[in-house]
Amino acid sequence: MIRHITTVSLGAFVASAMIHGVAMAEDSEADIPSLSYETVLSDLSDPWDMAFLPDETMFFTEKCSGLSVRLPSGDVNALLGMEDTEGYSTTADDLFCYGQAGMNGVTIDPEFEENRFVYVYSASNLETPHTNRVIRLTVNDDFTDVSDRVDIIEDIPYKQEDSDHPFGDAGAHNGGRIRFNPGDGHVYVTTGDNHNGEIPQDPTSLGGKVLRVDRDGEAAPDNNEGGDFDPRIFTYGHRNVQGIAFHPDTHEAFVAEHGPWHSDEVKALTAGGNAGWDPRPNVGDRGDCPDDYCGYMPNQMEGMDPEERRAFMPMTDLERFPDAIQPAWDNDGLSQGMSSAVFLTGSQWKDWDGRLAVGFLGIGFGDTAEGHRVDVLDIADDALSVEVTTMDLPVPAGRFRSVVQGPDGNLYVARDEGEIYRIIPE
């Protein structure tokens, strides 16, 4: 069951007003924070992800530029540039962007104080076909440069050729979020299906998966049941996961995943689990599909009822995979570009303390509204239902690519258009 409090119904008991950029909320039943904001950085190029040290030092990636760091003073140092960039301390000419691919996620080693390790996820042309890689870097003492690059995962597939699909250019569906789980100390890596029908259910491919490895890229123990499975695979059968977060109490992993013109999904992961996405042709009562990928069928270029799409090409196919991981939420059957997710923690978030914030890129297709927003999910203990509240955001609507809570307890939100905002609850 999905219990959904929409912004409309919420409006019945929440009076909201925008006063000098401050969203004021009054509510006789729920204790919801008022939100104001500051612009931390602007004029960036497709900011993709952020990661913080305790002193508010912020590493951030730009998809076609590279890795930089914003110091607590506000100064920004450009650390690792991609091909054709200037002004970076170090440049890696094999790192490139094309379409959706480029430099994506960034995370910091839990033992950064000792080892100075940061990690980025990026497309690389060191091999052909090209691949996505998880790259470990060592940051120098004054945060002006990085060195000692080690590619701890080299073989995440990259879409090399264009195909006959929406967004069908090369470089599509990379996943790309990387996060350490404070519960087990391992790094989790989300990947995508490359518009390739075979990849998600292929136990040997790292695409369409969530990987779990140590800081050297070695598989975590007990990821899956073995057999043909690559030992680094934690869960499989995913489409394009761009969000992963860990419950603040249980450390259970939750992913947020783009849907295929329907059904963005949030789900709790279990080791070895199948998320149920299988876009191969000639399975599940489907016939041939364009370029052997049924992901947008049965009508991939025109709008149609999302429910009909779901029946034809389910995001989680419980008929063929009865044990597949069921979603806690499917965005009411719609796809609006669900991207990253983070659990909000701290009393400053009032009733939202412990709830999952989910950012949406927003994409309107057919009769689906664009839906640029950040939602707050109260996930049931069994992770099979949610209550949803939409944040009354004080910032301009846009493609919200990344949501990260900073050490100051505020929510940092990156917009594709070029900003990183600090959302301040009061």
Applying CB under 8 A, among 282, 303, 311, 319 the residue interacting with other proteins is 303
Least distance from other proteins to the Cβ atom of residue 388, Å: 22
Task: Determine the Cα–Cα distance for residues 386 and 379; give it in Å rounded to an integer.
Answer: 4
Question: Computed from CA positions of residues 380, 392, 411, 259, in that sequence, does the dihedral angle turn out positive or negative?
Answer: positive
Q: Among the candidate windows 81-89, 233-241, 344-352, 355-363, which touches other proteins by CB under 8 A?
A: 355-363
Work out whether 70 is an interface residue with other proteins (CB under 8 A): no
408 burial via Cβ count (<10 Å: 0-12, 13-18, 19+): middle
Interaction of residue 302 with other proteins, rule CB under 8 A: yes
Least separation in angstroms between residue 162's CB and other proteins is 7
Compute the residue count for the chain: 426
Q: How far is the CB of 150 from other proteins (least distance, A)?
A: 29
Q: Which of 104, 300, 331, 402 binds other proteins (CB under 8 A)?
A: 300
Q: Which stretch binds other proteins (CB under 8 A): 124-132, 211-219, 243-251, 416-424?
A: 416-424
Decide: is 363 part of the binding site for other proteins (CB under 8 A): yes
CA 144 from chain center: how many Å? 28
Residue 210: which of 247, 265, 253, 164 has the closest Cα?
A: 253
Is there binding between residue 421 and other proteins (CB under 8 A)? no
Site for other proteins in 93-112 (CB under 8 A): 99-100
Residue pair 276/316 in contact (Cβ under 8 Å)? The answer is yes
Q: Exposure of 396 by Cβ count < 10 A (0-12 exposed, 13-18 middle, 19+ buried)? A: exposed
Cβ proximity of 241 and 190 under 8 Å: yes
Task: Specify the residue, 256 or 324, whose C-beta has the smaller distance to other proteins.
Answer: 256
* Best CA proximity match to 176, nearest among 345, 46, 314: 46
The one among 168, 175, 208, 406 contacting other proteins by CB under 8 A: 168
Q: Does residue 411 belong to the site contacting other proteins (CB under 8 A)? A: no
Taking the complex as a whole, the smallest distance from the CB of residue 418 to other proteins amounts, in Å, to 8
Q: Report how far residue 51's alpha carbon sits from residue 58's, in angstroms, rounded to the nearest whole number.
A: 6
Task: Count residues near other proteins (CB under 8 A).
Answer: 30
* Nearest residue (CB) to other proteins, 17 versus 369: 369
Q: Among the residues of 291-345, which ranges form H helices?
A: 306-312
Q: Is 260 in the site for other proteins (CB under 8 A)?
A: no
By CB under 8 A, the residues from 169 to 208 that bind other proteins are: 169, 172
For residue 298, say if its preceding peptide bond is cis, omega within 30 degrees of 0. yes
Which one of 106-114, 322-330, 373-381, 415-423 is the stretch in contact with other proteins (CB under 8 A)? 415-423
H or E segment and range at residue 59: strand 58-62
Tell me: does residue 166 bind other proteins (CB under 8 A): yes
**Whole-angstrom distance, CA of residue 244 vs CA of residue 253:** 7
| Binding segment toward other proteins, per CB under 8 A, in 107-115, 226-234, 280-288, 300-308 | 300-308
Integer Rg of the chain from CA: 20
Assess 370 for contact with other proteins (CB under 8 A): yes
Comparison of 15 and 397: residue with beta carbon closer to other proteins: 397
Alpha helices in 299-416 (DSSP H): 306-312
Work out whether 167 is an interface residue with other proteins (CB under 8 A): yes
The verdict on 291 binding other proteins (CB under 8 A) reads no
Nearer to other proteins, 68 or 100 (CB): 100
Comparison of 63 and 267: residue with beta carbon closer to other proteins? 63
Binder of other proteins out of 372, 388, 394, 421 (CB under 8 A):
372
Determine which helix (DSSP H) or strand (DSSP E) holds 40, and give its type and residue range.
Answer: strand 35-41
* CA–CA dist 93, 273 (Å, integer): 37
> Cβ of residue 313: shortest distance to other proteins, in angstroms?
16
| Alpha-carbon span 23 to 34, nearest angstrom | 6
Residue bearing tokens 């040290």: 53
DSSP single-letter state for residue 309: H
Residue 359 pairs with which residues in a beta bridge? 374
Q: Does 364 bind other proteins (CB under 8 A)?
A: yes
162 binding other proteins? (CB under 8 A):
yes
Contact residues toward other proteins (CB under 8 A) are: 45-46, 63, 99-100, 162, 165-169, 172, 300-303, 361-366, 370, 372, 397-399, 416-418
